[in-house]
């Protein structure tokens, strides 16, 4: 009887230690910009994607597009655009709208940013590092340009740097 109690205690101990090790940690950055979005914009809620005439809600990680007579929110692009390359497509950063319905300005956005729109090269205001979003704003405030310098004192490019000649 004593051995049965020891075996039962051993099995219970074995089962409890293996189940505690089976925990999985999932780290999801809810509300952070997607990898395909322009980096460095920390206070925006939406992108407008002219080529697919859709919005992307950053906080909810959803596309917003018009279909079947209503605005649809989905984790995926409409079926017709599922093969669209979000990395190379142009995204308009809507930094002046923070409501729930960016499509109230759809007519304006569609007219200004038509399909195939390629505006100025998209600015990256920061950088991303190791899947963690790290933003560094560097607009050279405080830098004073000296027009009299004209890049003199830089040599002709044939020198040996700091080595002795």
Among 2-6, 46-50, 101-105, 160-164, which is the least confidently predicted range? Answer: 160-164
pLDDT of residue 142: 42
Average pLDDT estimate for 144-162: 50
Beta bridge partners of 94: 46
Residues 33 and 86: beta-carbon distance below 8 Å: no
Q: What is the pLDDT of residues 46-87, one digit of tens each?
A: 999 999 999 999 999 999 999 999 999 999 999 999 999 999
What letter does residue 116 receive in the DSSP assignment? T
């Amino acid at each position: 009887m004593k051995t049965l109690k020891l075996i039962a205690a051993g099995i219970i101990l074995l089962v409890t230690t293996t189940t505690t090790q089976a925990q999985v940690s999932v780290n999801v950055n809810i509300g952070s910009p997607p990898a395909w979005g322009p980096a460095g914009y920390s206070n925006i809620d939406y992108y407008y994607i002219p080529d697919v005439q859709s919005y992307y809600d950053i906080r909810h990680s959803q596309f917003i597009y018009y279909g079947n007579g209503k605005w649809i929110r989905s984790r995926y692009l409409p079926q017709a655009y599922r093969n669209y390359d979000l990395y190379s497509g142009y995204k308009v950063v809507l930094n002046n709208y923070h409501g729930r319905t960016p499509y109230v300005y759809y007519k304006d956005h569609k007219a200004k940013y038509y399909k195939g729109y390629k505006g100025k090269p998209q600015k990256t205001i920061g950088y991303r590092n190791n899947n963690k979003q790290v933003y560094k704003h560097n607009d050279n405030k405080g830098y004073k340009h000296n027009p009299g310098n004209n890049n003199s004192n830089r040599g002709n490019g044939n020198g040996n740097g700091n080595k002795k000649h």
